[in-house]
Amino acid sequence: MPQYPFYPQDNRSFARVAMEIHPRMERRYAQEERGVTLQKETGGQSTRLTDVQTTTISVLLVDDHALMREGLRQLLALEEDFQVVDEAVNGFEAIQKVRELQPAVVLMDISMPVVDGISVTQQITHEFPEVAVIMLTMHRRAQQGVQAIKTGARG
Protein backbone atom coordinates (compact mmCIF):
# COMPACT_ATOMS: atom_id res chain seq x y z
CA MET A 1 0.00 0.00 0.00
CA PRO A 2 1.43 3.44 -0.88
CA GLN A 3 2.27 5.82 1.95
CA TYR A 4 -0.01 8.85 2.14
CA PRO A 5 0.55 11.54 4.77
CA PHE A 6 -2.94 11.37 6.34
CA TYR A 7 -3.40 7.67 7.05
CA PRO A 8 -4.58 7.13 10.64
CA GLN A 9 -1.91 4.50 11.31
CA ASP A 10 0.70 7.20 10.85
CA ASN A 11 1.64 8.39 14.34
CA ARG A 12 2.60 11.91 13.30
CA SER A 13 0.32 14.77 14.29
CA PHE A 14 -1.62 16.57 11.56
CA ALA A 15 0.27 19.81 12.29
CA ARG A 16 3.60 18.04 11.77
CA VAL A 17 2.32 16.49 8.53
CA ALA A 18 1.13 19.92 7.34
CA MET A 19 4.57 21.33 8.07
CA GLU A 20 6.17 18.54 6.02
CA ILE A 21 3.84 19.12 3.08
CA HIS A 22 4.21 22.91 3.10
CA PRO A 23 7.33 23.80 5.07
CA ARG A 24 7.67 27.39 6.14
CA MET A 25 10.29 29.46 4.47
CA GLU A 26 13.53 30.05 6.28
CA ARG A 27 13.15 32.74 8.91
CA ARG A 28 15.55 35.11 7.18
CA TYR A 29 13.32 35.23 4.10
CA ALA A 30 9.99 35.62 5.91
CA GLN A 31 9.98 39.41 5.69
CA GLU A 32 10.81 39.30 1.97
CA GLU A 33 7.86 36.97 1.44
CA ARG A 34 5.54 39.50 3.07
CA GLY A 35 7.03 42.39 1.11
CA VAL A 36 8.35 44.33 4.10
CA THR A 37 12.09 44.11 3.49
CA LEU A 38 13.62 47.54 3.67
CA GLN A 39 16.66 48.59 1.72
CA LYS A 40 18.83 51.63 2.19
CA GLU A 41 20.84 53.22 -0.59
CA THR A 42 24.39 54.05 0.49
CA GLY A 43 26.78 55.33 -2.12
CA GLY A 44 25.59 53.14 -4.97
CA GLN A 45 25.22 50.03 -2.81
CA SER A 46 22.05 48.84 -1.21
CA THR A 47 22.18 47.39 2.28
CA ARG A 48 19.36 45.73 4.14
CA LEU A 49 17.96 47.22 7.30
CA THR A 50 17.43 44.43 9.81
CA ASP A 51 15.43 46.40 12.36
CA VAL A 52 12.04 45.54 10.87
CA GLN A 53 9.55 44.74 13.62
CA THR A 54 6.42 42.73 13.01
CA THR A 55 3.22 43.31 14.92
CA THR A 56 1.51 40.36 16.55
CA ILE A 57 -2.25 40.23 16.06
CA SER A 58 -4.14 39.04 19.14
CA VAL A 59 -7.00 36.64 18.38
CA LEU A 60 -9.90 35.39 20.51
CA LEU A 61 -11.47 32.11 19.33
CA VAL A 62 -15.21 31.74 19.99
CA ASP A 63 -16.88 28.44 19.10
CA ASP A 64 -18.92 25.90 21.02
CA HIS A 65 -17.04 22.99 19.40
CA ALA A 66 -13.72 22.18 21.08
CA LEU A 67 -12.37 20.45 17.95
CA MET A 68 -12.96 23.59 15.86
CA ARG A 69 -11.25 25.82 18.42
CA GLU A 70 -8.27 23.48 18.66
CA GLY A 71 -7.95 23.27 14.87
CA LEU A 72 -8.02 27.05 14.52
CA ARG A 73 -5.51 27.40 17.34
CA GLN A 74 -3.09 25.01 15.63
CA LEU A 75 -3.47 26.73 12.26
CA LEU A 76 -2.85 30.16 13.74
CA ALA A 77 0.14 28.83 15.69
CA LEU A 78 1.83 28.14 12.34
CA GLU A 79 1.88 31.88 11.66
CA GLU A 80 4.17 34.03 13.79
CA ASP A 81 2.00 37.12 13.24
CA PHE A 82 -0.98 35.70 15.18
CA GLN A 83 -1.29 34.99 18.89
CA VAL A 84 -4.39 33.27 20.24
CA VAL A 85 -4.97 35.02 23.56
CA ASP A 86 -7.92 32.93 24.76
CA GLU A 87 -11.00 30.90 23.82
CA ALA A 88 -14.70 31.16 24.62
CA VAL A 89 -17.38 28.48 24.28
CA ASN A 90 -20.49 30.70 24.07
CA GLY A 91 -21.53 34.25 23.37
CA PHE A 92 -21.79 35.33 27.00
CA GLU A 93 -18.26 34.16 27.73
CA ALA A 94 -17.05 35.85 24.51
CA ILE A 95 -18.34 39.26 25.63
CA GLN A 96 -16.61 38.87 29.01
CA LYS A 97 -13.30 37.89 27.41
CA VAL A 98 -13.40 40.74 24.88
CA ARG A 99 -13.97 43.21 27.75
CA GLU A 100 -11.07 41.68 29.67
CA LEU A 101 -8.52 41.10 26.88
CA GLN A 102 -9.59 43.50 24.08
CA PRO A 103 -8.15 41.37 21.24
CA ALA A 104 -7.56 42.80 17.77
CA VAL A 105 -9.59 40.02 16.10
CA VAL A 106 -12.42 37.76 17.24
CA LEU A 107 -13.08 34.61 15.18
CA MET A 108 -16.67 33.79 16.08
CA ASP A 109 -19.10 31.00 15.24
CA ILE A 110 -22.56 32.21 14.23
CA SER A 111 -24.49 29.37 15.90
CA MET A 112 -23.73 29.02 19.61
CA PRO A 113 -25.62 28.28 22.82
CA VAL A 114 -26.57 30.93 25.41
CA VAL A 115 -26.08 33.93 23.07
CA ASP A 116 -25.65 33.51 19.30
CA GLY A 117 -22.72 34.98 17.37
CA ILE A 118 -24.73 37.67 15.59
CA SER A 119 -26.03 39.17 18.84
CA VAL A 120 -22.57 39.01 20.38
CA THR A 121 -21.06 40.68 17.31
CA GLN A 122 -23.49 43.55 17.62
CA GLN A 123 -22.59 44.00 21.31
CA ILE A 124 -18.82 43.77 20.71
CA THR A 125 -18.76 46.17 17.75
CA HIS A 126 -20.90 48.64 19.71
CA GLU A 127 -18.62 48.60 22.77
CA PHE A 128 -15.31 48.07 20.93
CA PRO A 129 -15.47 49.37 17.35
CA GLU A 130 -11.72 48.77 16.89
CA VAL A 131 -12.13 44.99 17.39
CA ALA A 132 -12.54 43.11 14.10
CA VAL A 133 -15.11 40.32 14.35
CA ILE A 134 -14.91 37.63 11.67
CA MET A 135 -17.77 35.16 11.55
CA LEU A 136 -17.36 31.42 11.07
CA THR A 137 -20.16 29.09 10.04
CA MET A 138 -20.71 25.68 8.52
CA HIS A 139 -24.11 26.73 7.16
CA ARG A 140 -24.56 27.92 3.61
CA ARG A 141 -27.34 30.40 4.32
CA ALA A 142 -26.25 33.76 2.93
CA GLN A 143 -28.90 35.52 5.03
CA GLN A 144 -26.94 34.87 8.24
CA GLY A 145 -23.77 36.26 6.68
CA VAL A 146 -25.52 39.40 5.51
CA GLN A 147 -27.10 39.84 8.93
CA ALA A 148 -23.68 39.42 10.59
CA ILE A 149 -22.15 42.08 8.33
CA LYS A 150 -25.03 44.44 9.13
CA THR A 151 -24.38 44.02 12.86
CA GLY A 152 -20.71 44.93 12.46
CA ALA A 153 -18.81 41.79 11.45
CA ARG A 154 -15.98 42.46 9.02
CA GLY A 155 -16.15 39.14 7.29
pLDDT 10s per residue in the chain (155 long)?
A: 444 444 444 444 444 444 444 444 444 444 444 444 444 445 555 445 445 566 899 999 999 999 999 999 999 999 999 999 999 999 999 999 999 999 999 999 998 888 888 999 999 999 999 999 999 888 777 777 787 888 888 88
In this prediction the pTM is 0.63
d(CA 76, CA 17): 16
* pLDDT number for residue 153: 85
Q: Domains in the chain: how many in total?
A: 2
* 78 and 25 housed in the same domain: no
For residue 17, the number of C-alpha atoms closer than 13 Å in the C-beta half-sphere is 11
* 123 and 61 housed in the same domain: yes
Question: Hey, how many other C-beta atoms are within 10 angstroms of the C-beta on 127?
Answer: 12
Amino acid, res. 112: M
* 143 and 69 housed in the same domain: yes
Residue 38 lies in a domain: yes
* 135 and 75 housed in the same domain: yes
Domain extent at residue 72: 57-150
* 44 and 113 housed in the same domain: no
* 26 and 80 housed in the same domain: no
